[in-house]
Each structure stands twice: as C-alpha cells, then as structure tokens.
Structure 1
Amino acid sequence: MTLMKSFLGAAATLALTSGAALADPALIFDLGGKFDKSFNESAYNGAERWAAETGGTYRDVELTSDAQREQALRRFAESGYNPVVMAGFNFATALETVAADFPDTKFAIIDMVVDAPNVKSVVFSEHEGSYLVGVAAAYAAEGDTVSFIGGMDMPLISKFACGYAQGFKSVKPDGTVIVNMTGTTPAAWNDPIKGGELTRAQKAAGSEVVFAAAGGTGLGVLQTAKDEGILAIGVDSNQNYLQPGTVLTSMVKRVDNAVYDAFMQGDALETGFSVMGLSNGGVGVAMDDNNASLMTDEMTAALADAEAKIISGEIVVHDYMSDETCPSY
C-alpha cells in the first residue's frame, strides 16, 4: 500500500501515525512522479543517496492531484516526520498553512520562497546554467536558429528560456530563439506528445537545437529531436543517456543536493533562504561519454570561459523573474 493510499481512510491514517518513526525525514514529489527522469527523479536520487550513506529511512509520496498537497504535508507533520521536504513551487500555498500549524516541524521547499520561521526555501539560478547551454547550442548549430520548449507557462520557466536566449546570442547576436510553452496548467509537465509536436514545428521553422525545460513533456522533445535529426538539451537531471548522440548536453539543476542536504541536517535543518547557482555547484552543464562526441574543444573552452565570467560577475545573466522581461528575445 502506498502512503497516498493510506491517506484515504481514518483507520489507515491512524495506522500511519502509530507506525511512523519520530524524526525520520519525508519527501513529497510534485506531479509527474518520482521517476520522471527529470526534476522529481533528481529529488529522489538525493534522498536515496542520503539513505545509502547513512542507513537511514525516509517516507515519500507521489501526488496525483493538486488537491492532495496540503493533505500530504499535514499527514507527514502529524506523524512526526522531520524534516518534510517538498519538490516544487506548487506547494507554497499549502505549506504556508501547514507550517504555521506545526511550528516544531521543519519544512524545506524547493523552487519557491515561503517566509516562515520553520521553513527552508531553496531556489536555483537556472538562468545561469541556461546561459551556458545556450552557448553550447550556438556552437552546435550550423545556422542561426535554435529553440526552447517549456512546460507550464510561468515566470520560472521563462527564466530558463531567457538565460538560454542570452547565452545563444552572446555567440550569435543576430540569431533567433523560438520559444514555446506546452500549456498553462500543471498537465503541461506530462504531455510528451505535445512536446513532440512542438519540436517538429520548431524544426520546420529552422531550429537545429531544442532545449526542453518541461518535466515529463521533455521526454517527448528528446525522442522527437532524435527522430527528426536535430539536437536536444535536457534539464534538471543529466538526461544525456536518454538519447546518446543527439542530446547535446543537459542543464543540470542539483535538486538532489538540496534534498540530500536537508535530510542530512534532519530536524536541525537550518531554515531561511538559500540560492544554488554556478558558484556553489547548484547548476551546471552535463558532460559524459554520452555526449563527448558532440562537445568540441572550442565549445568546451567557450563554456569554461562563460562560467568563469558569470561567477566573477563579468557576465550578468538577466533573471526573468526580477522584472518579467527578457532583453534577449
């Protein structure tokens, strides 16, 4: 029986409460499931690394609807799990309510800021890593057109797109970046068919490299890019292995480290606000045997130079979320 099923009845809830070990951590995945090969799976990998290294145990739950967010948070807190970590910005409203009701429980939210004394908020400098893969796309494309496919149309995903466009245009200032979002509801994270359709349309418009920041939808983008003979860029987890030889690289977002660090701190979790970017290993570009043949020496040198300049402040990557504009479009 999964934990979510145990939420469905009072008797099962009582059994969960009586059986929970105090101070074990818990992890709640966002819609799409723990094995989405992207954001959620990175969170899962962090929890599993903690368990393997410490011998500890944790509980997790995969949601099937937005309505379950507060219920899942509340049940874990009631059952004594601490800290309770949630992967995704969509937990913010539920967390604001539940954190106030359980002041002795520590919570960690990834990708959103919730201002409460018992909450750790972890956000990432996605625009910095996206700038780097934009540079890579510019070197990989023979022409001057690349593209981006986002999941749900929202400022956080535009943050990826804008950084990507700025990086691409730092190499090809007169180039074109086609930007499409999959939808306006959470269903946009799990629509690989729509991802494939958008990829084909972008190729028809001249795109040679497509960067997908779209959760499970991105799997359709990567597959279609391979089928159509263009390059793709993965996101969050290292997705190079999914389509070796056609995934140029992946913009890795170390959600795994955020979960691992929270679990390691346990109920002594340091609350407050933290940013994970290039300077502290929070984002980066994936290089391995699966994409080695695609990464030229010139491209690798350009990426190293851009990374150093971003860290030093010589290059400032525009953060779309600061003003909801993108000068590079």
Structure 2
Amino acid sequence: MANYGYLPRNGIITAEQAISASKDVFNMDYDLGAFLSFEAVAFGGNLATSVFSSAFHVRPPVHVCSRSLTVQGAVGGEDARTYSSTGIGSKEVGRQYGLDAHGRVEGDASATRQDYNLNDGDNHSGIPSWFARLVDAAKVNGGEFNHAATNALYGQNARLSLANNPTSVWQAHTIVVTLAEYGLITEFVGNGGVANYDSVAPFMGFETSNNGTVCAVFEHFPKNWFRRSTPYGLVDGVVGNLVPTFLSGPLLPNPLQDYFTTASIGGLGCALYQHFKNGLTVEMTGQSQAYTAQMNVYLQQKLLPALPVRRSPPRTSRSTLTVLTQPCSTRTS
C-alpha cells in the first residue's frame, strides 16, 4: 500500500495509519484493523508510540518468468527508527522485531510462503508452486478463489508444516493470524468482492507464463481493481471463518484448539485476551514493571474493543456475538 501512497514509504507506520489505510484500500472494518494493528505493535513495535516497522530489506532475487527482479525484500524487520530514546519504547526495555518477526505476528503454514525454519529463515518469498496449488483448488470451485478453495490450501499447508517442521509455531496470536490469512484472500483481494485469478495473482505477487509456469513478480494492484462494497471486520467476518478453516486441516496443537474443534466461538474473545496477556507477560514483559503495566493498558484500550465474545450461554445455535469491553477476569455475564 505504500507504493500507492496509502502508507508512508519509509516503512515506519503507526497503528492508526495502518487502520486507516486498510479501510481505504480494502474496506476493512475498524475492529479487524485495530486487532491486526494491535498485534503488530504489541509483538513487534513500540508501545509508547504505537509505531511498528514494515521497512523493506533487500534480499536476493527470486525466480521469475522472463525477467530478473533486481530487488526483492522482506517486509517488517527490526528497525532502529521505531525505538524511543528512553522509557518503555527504548531498546533497553525490550526488542522491537518488526511486523514479520517469526513467532510474534508471523507464524507457520502460510498460504504461499514456506515455514521460517524450513527455508533458512526466509518466510518472505512467495513460492510459485504453492500458489499453483491454490490455482488448482480454485479450478475445482469454478475458478473462484472462494473459502472452499483457500481452506483446501490451508489443509495442504498445515499438513506439510506438521509433518516436516518439528519447531512449528502455533501460539494463540499466530494461529489466529494464520487462519485469517486464508479467508482474507477471498474477502479482500477480489475485484469488487469477486476473487478470481486476474485479481488474486497480482495482489499475491504471481503470474503465469505462456507455457503455463507460475512465477513470482512484484505484488501490485490489478488493473481496474476496486475494493469490496461492504466493510469486512473481525466480529462479523473473520471469526465466523476461523472454525471451518481450522477444521480443513489436521488438528494443530494450539491454546485455542477447544474453541475450534467444538465449532464454538462463544469464549474465543476472552480466550484470546487471556492468551495475549499471559503470553506477553511471560515472553516479552519480564524486563520492566512499567512495561508490563503499559502492556495491560494497551491490551484493555486497543485489543478488548475488537474482540468478539458471547455474553451468556447460547439458547439456540444462532447466538449473538457482541464486543468485549472489559477484562474477562472482571466481566460478568
């Protein structure tokens, strides 16, 4: 989005800039934008300033169809510009690894990128053969990159990861992002909401040569592309698609498995909150009581308003999702 003027081109982004750009470009609803931005800041950015790195770091070119990409890069590595000179945003308090630091925001079993530990730390480069499998799944579904197609790809990739990667990462925050990634292909990159090859391939950075070979290209907006007409968010969109996506593959071990395997999302909001809080306290906030206190404030102000919960046991199978407005430990039914 930076190449099109929706985000700063220097790679240093605030949470509010990310939320606004996602709304303008994709019609992403505020709750989903806030949730994803929270992850980026909490696990890879500066809590004091709500800034994180999406900076472009050069790496060797990848295979392309008929020309050489002289620059190919990883988005979101650690960057000195995100740090504050003092306080909880300083490097002395904690590292700010950036948007794609493995095991923080980015996890395993990505749609078109290899697991970090199976590819010499390259979890950035798109793999043409993996996108080709998505194309094949779309062909089975009338050429549409719908949820059936993306769920089929998730099932394949999850099996590959589980079978080949003994160090695969399935934490609460990473599994949610991984599962959501597949559904967002369908919901956000389709032209006007219709996800077909002509819209999906450019966005994901692939093209097909004259001989039918799928190759890597720079990610870009398709010609004459326009966004979906209705907002798509966390509560009214992503959450409902997490369970069918998860059940399309092997039962990956993760803290939220009970909510996925029972096809119940009634307690998912509280579970996410608690796992975020506990995980951050154990893994990232041990250096400073002030940092821990600020993280708790950030959790309550930024994460809680975006999380879906069911406030009382369901009377029917069609229960209503509402929004969590206070910590689960003090919330009453």
TM exceeding 0.5: no
Structure showing the higher strand proportion among its residues = 1
If asked which structure has higher relative contact order (CA below 8 Å, sep 6+), I would say: 1
Q: TM-score, normalised by structure 2?
A: 0.26
Q: TM-score, normalised by structure 1?
A: 0.26
